[in-house]
Amino acid sequence: MKPLRAAIDDWVVKKKTNLIELLQELIKTPSPSGQEKACAEKIADFMRKSGFSSSKADQIGDAMGVVKGSGGGRSLLMNGHIDHVPPGDMIEPYSGKLMDGSIFGVYGDVVYGRAASDMKASVAAMIATGAALNDIGIELKGDFKVAAVAQEETGGAGTISTIERDQFLADVVLIGEATNMDLALGHRGSMKMSVVVRGRSCHASAPERGINALYKAQDLITRVRNELIPNLPSDALFGRTSLAITQIEVKPGTLNVVPEECRFYIDCRNVPDYPVEKLYHDLGSLIKDQSLKDPDFKAFVIPSTLISGHRSFTGFYTNPDQNPVVGEVESALVSVGFKPVRKTWTLATDGRFYNWLGLPVIGFGPGEERFAHTSKDHVRVEDYLNTIKAYTTIAAKVCGTK
């Protein structure tokens, strides 16, 4: 029998065309958040045809599959989301084109399309891993599981459903969000807030009769940008806290009326030393100070994260000193030719839900974060194929083989 690495390499080479077509087929199936069912059913069908012990697609748009082990080993769950953000100004976003990557500043062939890097390449690699385990004849001791989930981009309803309703869990969890082939061990928290600024409406032909809430909001936004953002804290593990104002809206929203209310929305990615209560306090302090400078300024903060009962810090970190599986996965990656760098994601992932349950969570996937949610969404073919090799090797390492 061939050594494991040689057998996996040979299988990927032999199946290369089919594996690329699998990824293209997923990209060609639009699955914006809330509309994942068609894609989930295709994934469940592929699982059935490629030898998964069981597979199903649920009503939410999740697909779950299991390659059953013989017993006596740890189970491994690979999680990846199949929903995606709108295509925006992408050209042929659902084409799944195979093209030269030089147009994106990378070398080699790439597959282009919405969700290529975020994160259908990883999902395709996960379900291809199940096929590889069966075709090669790798008999695992522990179960290998795949959760291709819905609605990650809008809060994680798909993963939460697989956990709470299906109890679809394992001893070790791998999240396939893009890591550029490095090893991610966690990510910052995520906080959402909005600020409502009040004014007084009037006819736009006589603006002096009112108080323009949009102008007042602009004054506060300028202070947020100049005073709050530059002083946000950093952390040795998680990096710098970031804050962005992502939306703004006015009431009544009529062209010939000075707005009486303006609301802007904040997305903050925080570190442990900057909890939701601190952001709420800092925004409140700016509002209080602005009110002292401008008697017509009235505003308040709506801390949606705090109201919804979320934790002060919603990120996570899998400490390699406390979780030997990190070293095991690293050794598996090294055995197939990688030299992974340990890091944390800039973006948030569904890995937090598993970590909060006390499970070790690691991250490895093809693609680069900088291309996610952009018009340049793509993944390198070489990285995608190498991810299949890596996932198959990791499954054998974590689950054990007979």
Are residue 265 and residue 236 in the same domain, yes or no? yes
Residue after which a domain boundary falls, among 307, 334, 352? 307
CATH code: domain of residue 274: 3.30.70.360
Q: Domain range spanning residue 217?
A: 189-307
Tell whether 111 and 251 lie within a shared domain.
no
Rg (Cα) of the chain, in Å, rounded? 24
Same domain, yes or no, for 160 and 52? yes
Cis peptide before 93 (omega within 30 of 0): no
Which of 251, 269, 398, 235 lies closest to 346 in space, CA to CA? 269
Read off the pLDDT of residues 161-191 as tens digits, 9 standing for 90 and up: 999 999 999 999 999 999 999 999 999 999 9
**Token pair of 298, please?**
């009235």
3-state secondary structure (DSSP) of residue 231: helix
Residues 222-272 pLDDT 10s: 999 999 999 999 999 999 999 999 999 999 999 999 999 999 999 999 999
Q: Among the three residues 258, 289, 307, which one is the final residue of a domain in this structure?
A: 307
pTM of the model: 0.92
Q: What is the pLDDT of residues 297-349, one digit of tens each?
A: 999 999 875 544 556 788 999 999 999 999 999 999 999 899 999 999 999 99
Quick one: 37 and 160 in the same domain?
yes
363 shares a domain with 323: yes
Is the previous residue joined to 126 through a cis bond, with omega within 30 degrees of 0? no
The domain tally of the chain equals 2
Q: Cα separation of 56 and 226, whole Å?
A: 51
Instruction: Name the amino acid, one letter, at 78.
Output: M
User: At 22, which CATH number?
Assistant: 3.40.630.10
Instruction: Return the half-sphere exposure (C-beta side, CA atoms, 13 A cut-off) of residue 172.
Output: 25
CA distance 381 to 67: 25
Between CA 375 and CA 355 the distance in angstroms is 32
